[in-house]
Amino acid sequence: MNDSVGLVKTEYADFDVELRLESGRLLGPLTIAFERYGQLNAAKDNVILVTHAWTGDAHAAGVHDEEDRKPGWWDNMIGPGKVFDTDKYFVLCSNVIGSCKGSTGPTSIDPKTGRPYRLKFPSLMVRDMVRAQKLLIDHLGITSIHAVVGGSMGAMQAIEWAIHYPEMIRAIVPIAGTGRTSPMAIALNALARQAIFNDPLWKKGNYRPEHPPADGLALARAVGHISFLSDASMWLKFGRRFSVRDGMFDFFGKFEIERYLDYNGGNFVDRFDTNSFLYLAKALDLYDVAWNFDSLSEALDRLNCPSLWFAFTSDWLYTPQQTQEVVDELRRLNKPVDYHLIESDYGHDSFLVEPEKFIPILQTFLAEVPRSA
């Protein structure tokens, strides 16, 4: 059995609207980039909405052409016979607004000026991203979603969907998420921001696309990447090995972990816009499920569908304790909730590196989701 969705294409939906953001600003018109896998059934109720993490995109599975060496970011989860079985489900993934991967963001043209928004783009919250996704869902004629599933920032989107559109959502699966961003996570993003701000090529966001603040963005990404790993995974992958290309007593010589961070930072500069990185980082910092509610309890009382939560023992970015805080409150409210703490040494990235550890639980959960919201 061929378990790949094969050749896919990114589609774009345009909306001549002005979306009111949590900040009070209006953003529009909007473009939403998305990909779809599998077939929508006649009842339009077999939809799984996959939500991506910080620097992800709509390309979750398959390849764009035969020469692609790297498939979509969750290709091991989406396809015939996989956990998101495209013989059974219609799987949809859209790019969040604020990104640079096809949806409206800082690199988009501001209709008022005819030039890129850059820092005139309004600040966003995760809730705004979900409101934009709702435009796409309505556009596709979908009124019921089987499940919203996502990791990290994708988990935040899943929670927001269930709270703000409870009539549509039949289940959510937040993976490696949090109900509110911690001071430590905000501090790490602050370091990343300063790395960019201190790069003279940043020019307060007015850099030329062909000459981005590469050093600053690469360093910012390195800060973030460290938070995605764990001490155990770094020992396992790199240990204290010194780079074979350097002399150990060369003042500028580097350990293998340093070379790894350099490599990833350099690659990231080639594929992601600096201002988009900053806007999405700010949205992560601002995330609090209780925003505009009187309490966490009031917010979570709106979450009526079954929810399945996964946290990972070595995740120090969004710790198991942060997931537990939300789960405990849902249990206090007598909501249908299931929680699994997965043993893994791969830190925050565990949900991408070792999905086999939670796939059986996820498959069972999806099969038991009620047919109507």
Annotated binding site for substrate: 221, 349
Q: Which residue's entry shows tokens 């086999």? A: 356
Q: What are phi and psi of 364, to 5 degrees?
A: -65, -45
Helix (H, G, I), strand (E, B) or coil at 208: strand
Q: How far apart are the C-alpha atoms of 149 and 309, rounded to whole Å?
A: 10
In three state form, how does the secondary structure of 258-289 look?
HHHHHHHHHHHHHHCCHHHHHHHHHHHHHCEC
Indicate the pairing of strand 19-20 with strand 26-27: antiparallel
Instruction: Please name the residues in contact with 286: beta carbons below 8 A apart, sequence gap of 6 or more.
Output: 123, 125, 126, 181
Q: Chain-centre distance of CA 252, in angstroms?
A: 35
Helices (runs of H) and strands (runs of E) counted in the chain: 11, 14
Do 296 and 329 touch, CB atoms closer than 8 A?
A: yes
Beta bridge partners, 90, equal 47
**Does 29 sit behind a cis peptide bond, omega within 30 degrees of 0 on the bond before it?**
yes
Is residue 349 exposed (0-12), middle (13-18) or buried (19+ Cβ within 10 Å)? buried
Beta bridge partners, 311, equal 341
Residues labelled as active-site residues: 152, 315, 348
Q: How far apart are the C-alpha atoms of 48 and 165, rounded to whole Å?
A: 15
Q: How far apart are the C-alpha atoms of 280 and 297, rounded to whole Å?
A: 26
Q: Which residue's entry shows tokens 């500028």? A: 252
Measuring CA to CA, how many Å separate 133 from each of 85, 97, 117, 137, 336?
A: 22, 9, 21, 6, 25
Q: How many other CB atoms are found less than 10 A from the CB of residue 245?
A: 9
